[in-house]
Structure 1
Amino acid sequence: MNAPATKRMIKFPFGFWSGIQQLGIAPKDIARQAQLPVTVITETQVTTEVYFAIWQAFSDLIGDIAKGLFGLVTVFETAQYPPDMLAIYHARDYRDALCRMARYKQMCPPEQLLITEEGQECTIELKWQHAEELVPKILVGVTLAQLLELGRRGTGQALRARSVEFAYPMGDVQVLEAYFGCSIRIGTNRNRLTLLRRDLDIPFASYNSELLDILTPVLDRKLGEKQVPLSMTETVKWIIKRNLMAGHLDIQSVAKELAMSDRTLQRRLTEEGTNFKHLLTQARHEQARAYLADPLLDIKEVACLVGYEDQNSFYRAFRIWEGETPSHWRSENLGFQHGKE
C-alpha cells in the first residue's frame, strides 16, 4: 500500500543558529549530530522530521534540557523574528499577543496552542500534530518558555507563571523553577503553562498600531492560503542528501523509505520531468559545493560526504560539474588554497 509522499514544511527561525552560537555550540556541530547535510543551516523551511532532528541534536549537545531551554530563550533576539512574530511582539497587550501567536502558529506546524481563560487563570496547553513521543523534550520546554518570555519582553515586567506542567522530565527542575518563577510539575499527562489572568491585561510597551495595520492583513492572507507540500522531486532530493554518506544509494532504497515501489517512484518522477539518476547527480553537486565552502574539510572528506568511495571518482565528477578541480574551485571561491590535488 502506498503512503502519501508529500511532506509539510516548517519555517525554521534563522535566529536559532545565532542563538546556539551564543551558547557555545557551532551550527555545523548540530548538523553533524543530527546526521544532516550542513546546508540545512541555510534552509528557511524544513520537513517535520528534520525539524525534530535539529532540536534533538541541540538537546544532545547542550546536555541538561533545562539549562538549554533557559539559555536559548533568553539569548534569542527579538530583532531576528520573522514578520509573524514581529506582529506578536507589537501587539496591544499580553492577551492580544497570545491570541495572535495561537493564530499564526497555524502557518507553522507541528504544534498548536490551546488557550483557555477561566476564573483567575489562563492556561495554554500544547498539542502536537504528530505522536507526542516523537517531539524532542527540549522543544516542548522552549515552546512554553517562549510564551512567558513573550509576556516579559512585551510588558517589560518580570512576570511569573502560576504553574507549569510537563509530561516528561526536563532536566534540572531548580533551573526551570528559577526561570518560570513557580513550582514545576513533572510526569503529568500534558504540557501546560498557567498564567494569572490579570497579567493578560498588561499593555505591551512595544505596541505599534501602524505596524500591525500593515502586517495583519498580509499574515491573515497567508494564513488563508494552503501550504504547498514538497513535490516528489524535492522530497527525493532531500532523502538523497540525507543519506549520501551511507554509500550505495539507489532508487529502491529511497522508494522503500517513501513506502512505495521503485516503479511507482520512477513514474512519479517522470511526471515531474526528472529521474532518480539526475536527482542523485544534482544532490551530490550541490552538497559538494556546500562542503567545499567549509575550510575545515579536506577534499578526501568531501568526497566521502557526497558518497564517493575514492577521491579520483569525485575529481572526475566535479570536473564535469564545474569544469575544474575541487581544490581550484575552492581557492577561486574562498580566496585560498586548501588541500592537495
Structure 2
Amino acid sequence: MKSYTSDQIKIPPGFWEGLHQLGIAAHDVARQAQLPLTIITESIVTTAQYFAIWEAYSDLIGDTAQAIIELATVFETAKYPPTVLAPYHARDYRDALNRMARYKQLCPPEGLLINEDGERCTIDLEWLNLGEQPGPSLLVGITLACLLELGRRGTDQPLTAQLVEFSEPMGDVQALEAYFGCRIRTGAKRNRLTLFRRDLDRPFLSYNEELLEILTPALDRSLDELQSNRSITETVKWIIKRCLTAGRPDIQSVAKELNVSDRTLQRRLTDENTSFKQLLTQARHEQAIEYLADPSLDIKEVAFLIGYEDQNSFYRAFRLWEGDTPSNWRTEHFSTG
C-alpha cells in the first residue's frame, strides 16, 4: 500500500544555484538526466524526474562522496525552504531534528525516523512512498549529511557523528569519514546517521522565536491538511509501515509524530473500531505479502524489513496470518502467478 504522499517533489529554491557554485550548469544536469531544459524553471517535479536529476548530478561530478560533501557545505542557509528554515531556527539540536522529521513529510520522497537510546541518537532514512525503488545513493548521502550540517550551523560547533551507515556504495569512503568525523559503514541493512545524544542538548545560536511563531502554524496547517486526506486508521498504518525497519514502533512514537497524546490517538482509533496493536499486525502482514512477492528479497531480509529481529518469530506470525510458512507461500504465489 502506498503512502498518502503525492508524486510531486518540490525543488529547493537554491538547488540550481548551489550546483552553479560547484561549476555545474543546470542545463548540463537536465541533458544528462534526459529531461527537457524547462525542468530548470519548474518548482515541482515528479519522483522519477527528481531521482533522475540527482543521478545526473552524481554522474557529472564523478564521485558520490565528493558530490555529497560539496553540495552539503555550499548550500546557503538563506536559501533553505520553510521546512528546513524552521529547524535551523529551532531552540536546540534536538528540537531542530524533531522539526526536520515532522516537516519532512511535506517534502517527499524521503522521511526520517529518530530514536534516542542511551548515549546515542539514531536517525533512519525511510522512503515515504512504500513499494518504490530506493532513491539514488547521492540523495541518501546528502540527506544524512544535511542533518549533521544543520547541527554544525545551528550550534556553530564542529560536531561529528558517531557512525554513518549506508546500504549502497558511496564512493570515496575516506572523504566521507573525514567529513562526518566517524567510521562509515557501507553495505548495511539501513541508511542511518548515529549522533552523540549529548549533542542534542546544544543550543542553537540561530534560534529565532519570532520567526518560529510565524513558520510553525503555517507548516502545521499544511501537515494537517495532508494527513486529513486519510482516516486516522490509514494514517497510523502508513506511519507504522514506514517505521518497521527500525524495529517495532509503539503508540507513543506514532502519537508524537501526529502531534497528539497517545491517549488521544488510542481514543480516535477506538472510534474507528480498531486499536494500535491491530494496525501493527495488519501493517506487518500487508508488508510481508508485498515483500515476499519480490523474489530478490530473501526470507531473513523480509523478516527484518517488517521489524522482526528473530526469523523464527516471523515464521510463527506468518503461519497465523496465512496458515503456511513464508517459503511455501512464496512458492505457491509464483507457481500460480
Q: TM-score, normalised by structure 1?
A: 0.64
Gaps spanning 5+ residues in structure 2: where?
Answer: 230-337
Task: Determine the C-alpha separation between the residues in 2 that align with 1:40 and 1:227.
Answer: 29
1:70–1:176 contact (8 Å) kept in structure 2: yes
Q: Percent identity?
A: 68
Report how far residue 88 of structure 1 moved.
Answer: 1.0
Task: Determine the C-alpha separation between the residues in 2 that align with 1:67 and 1:131.
Answer: 29
Amino acid at match of 1:56: E
Provide Cα deviations, 1:72-131, integer angstroms capped at 9, x if missing partner: 000000001122211111000000000000000011111110100000000000011255
Q: Which residue of 2 aligns with 1:137?
A: 137
**Pairing 1:92-111 to 2, within 5 Å after superposition:** 92-111=91-110
Q: Which residue of 1 aligns with 2:179?
A: 179
SS at match of 2:168: coil
Q: Which residue of 2 aligns with 1:291?
A: none
Task: Determine the C-alpha separation between the residues in 2 that align with 1:146 and 1:7.
Answer: 24
Provide Cα deviations, 1:127-168, integer angstroms capped at 9, x if missing partner: 112557541110000000000000000000000000000101
Q: Does 1:206 align with 2:219?
A: no
SS at match of 1:195: strand
RMSD of aligned residue pairs (Cα, Å)? 1.9
Task: Determine the C-alpha separation between the residues in 2 that align with 1:210 and 1:181.
Answer: 34
Q: How many residues align?
A: 225
**Pairing 1:45-84 to 2, within 5 Å after superposition:** 45-84=44-83
Task: Determine the C-alpha separation between the residues in 1 that align with 2:188 and 2:126.
Answer: 14
Provide Cα deviations, 1:186-234, integer angstroms capped at 9, x if missing partner: 11111000000010000000001111111111110011113999xxxxx
Provide Cα deviations, 1:277-312, integer angstroms capped at 9, x if missing partner: xxxxxxxxxxxxxxxxxxxxxxxxxxxxxxxxxxxx
Is the alpha carbon distance of 1:86 and 1:31 closer, same or farther for their aligned partners in structure 2, counting shifts above 3 Å? same
Is the alpha carbon distance of 1:9 and 1:227 closer, same or farther for their aligned partners in structure 2, counting shifts above 3 Å? farther
**Pairing 1:117-266 to 2, within 5 Å after superposition:** 117-128=116-127, 129-130=129-130, 133-226=133-226
SS at match of 1:125: strand
Task: Determine the C-alpha separation between the residues in 1 that align with 2:25 and 2:197.
Answer: 40
Q: Which residue of 2 aligns with 1:31?
A: 30
Report how far residue 41 of structure 1 moved.
Answer: 0.8
Q: Which residue of 1 aligns with 2:17?
A: 18
1:8–1:227 contact (8 Å) kept in structure 2: no
1:110–1:130 contact (8 Å) kept in structure 2: no
Task: Determine the C-alpha separation between the residues in 1 that align with 2:205 and 2:222.
Answer: 27
Task: Determine the C-alpha separation between the residues in 2 that align with 1:43 and 1:159.
Answer: 35
Amino acid at match of 2:136: P
Is the alpha carbon distance of 1:188 and 1:132 closer, same or farther for their aligned partners in structure 2, counting shifts above 3 Å? farther
Amino acid at match of 1:33: Q
Amino acid at match of 2:171: G
Gaps spanning 5+ residues in structure 1: where?
Answer: 1-5, 230-341
Q: Which residue of 2 aligns with 1:270?
A: none
Task: Determine the C-alpha separation between the residues in 1 that align with 2:170 and 2:103.
Answer: 27
Is the alpha carbon distance of 1:82 and 1:166 closer, same or farther for their aligned partners in structure 2, counting shifts above 3 Å? same
SS at match of 2:219: helix
Is the alpha carbon distance of 1:221 and 1:7 closer, same or farther for their aligned partners in structure 2, counting shifts above 3 Å? closer
Report how far residue 10 of structure 1 moved.
Answer: 1.1
Is the alpha carbon distance of 1:43 and 1:227 closer, same or farther for their aligned partners in structure 2, counting shifts above 3 Å? farther
Task: Determine the C-alpha separation between the residues in 1 that align with 2:49 and 2:227.
Answer: 18
**Pairing 1:269-280 to 2, within 5 Å after superposition:** none
**Pairing 1:280-295 to 2, within 5 Å after superposition:** none
Amino acid at match of 1:48: T
Provide Cα deviations, 1:42-92, integer angstroms capped at 9, x if missing partner: 111111111101001101111100001000000000001122211111000
1:7–1:47 contact (8 Å) kept in structure 2: no
Q: TM-score, normalised by structure 2?
A: 0.64
Question: Over alpha carbons, which structure has the higher Rg?
Answer: 1
Task: Determine the C-alpha separation between the residues in 2 that align with 1:226 and 1:100.
Answer: 16
Task: Determine the C-alpha separation between the residues in 1 that align with 2:132 and 2:144.
Answer: 15
